[in-house]
Amino acid sequence: MTTKNTSSNFAFNIIAIIAVVFALYVLKTLLMPLLLAAIFGIMIFPVQLFLEKKWRCNRLFATIFSIVIMFGFTVILVFLIVTQLREFMDNGSEYISKITEIYTKALSVVERSLDVSSRDSLLKKNVGFSELLKGNFDKISTFIFESGAIFSDFVLIPIYMFFFLYYRRFLRSFTYRLFSKKSKSYINTVIKEIYHIQQNYLVGLLKVMLIVGILNTTGLLLLGIDNAIFFGFFAALLLVIPYIGVIIGALLPALVALVTKDSYWYVFGVLALFSVIQFIEGNFITPKVTGGKVSVNAFIVIFSLIVFAMLWGVAGMVVAIPITATIKILCDHSEEYKAFGFLIGEPENKFLKSRARSRLKKWKAIRKKR
């Protein structure tokens, strides 16, 4: 009887997971503005709180003023990015012709070294390399502009933000009623932890972006790359997409270096620059700034990026870490799902140490006692 119940519970859980994933995929256009509004709302909530407590503003004015300030900066930022990217994409044919020229020279050298006959040479055949490159270049440009599409809904997001901030006590009261079996102190603790981890992540991310943007810009200026300030800070902004954003950010100035510079060493210089900065950011800047407050291990980060990218595209990659961090807190406060919270979190040092090393330490300790 117990085996049957276990099997039926497992089957039910699998069906429930499939249903949730399907609902998330279908409801992307409905859920994405809500999630972004919640994230932006957490970001500007300290501003609203300052206006309400320090300046004694009423909640309606504080909410509207906070949203206007944030979206004013957002509109200016998006306008500058789109303008620069349009200019970059307008020169796409120049980049394609340069890459095609490099491909032709490299292929010619390889064929000469391998003693390929002129009849069998790929240079004599119409392989359509430039057409293939143009198609992929168009895909890259589509991907880049799609990453800015998450900011395109400038109507729904501020409306949702307004109600999240203005109705915050009403929504908290709804949460008490929804989870009436739980105590108010328990619910308040969970809400406070979710808010703090999101706030720490967002503030820490902004600080990291600023530091990395300055490092990128300094390096590109030293290399003499055109539009160094834009490419430096644009690559820093793409840190919202972990691991993948830095690759996109490095490719754009590398292409500019390929077209505008006489030596290929500038391209390698740009790629080396971004690799070094990425190493410094991942190992020193981010741990120092965020202090490990968003305790999600690298495996889960990569896995969540893939899952949310499959569900919601580029926008899903942006919200993957905040959602995963929230899921971890909910699992940590649930006895049934505590194991999943443990799996999502950063492993302790004792799980990463080699057993051979620990045995060696014990053996040395025993020898000292003797």
Tokens of 35: 């999630």
Confidence grade of residue 86 (pLDDT, cut at 50, 70, 90): confident
pLDDT-wise least confident of 18-27, 101-110, 223-232? 101-110
Contact indicator for 205, 224 with CB cutoff of 8 Å: no
What's the mean per-residue pLDDT of the chain?
82
Tokens of 24: 């998330």
Q: Domain ranges in the chain?
A: 295-370
**Who has greater pLDDT, 32 or 353?**
32
pTM confidence score:
0.79
C-alpha torsion angle, residues 246, 251, 257, 258 (rounded to 10)? 160
Confidence grade of residue 127 (pLDDT, cut at 50, 70, 90): very low
Instruction: Give the CA count within 13 Å in the CB-facing half-sphere of 31.
Output: 16
Q: How far apart are CA 194 and CA 188, in angstroms?
A: 10
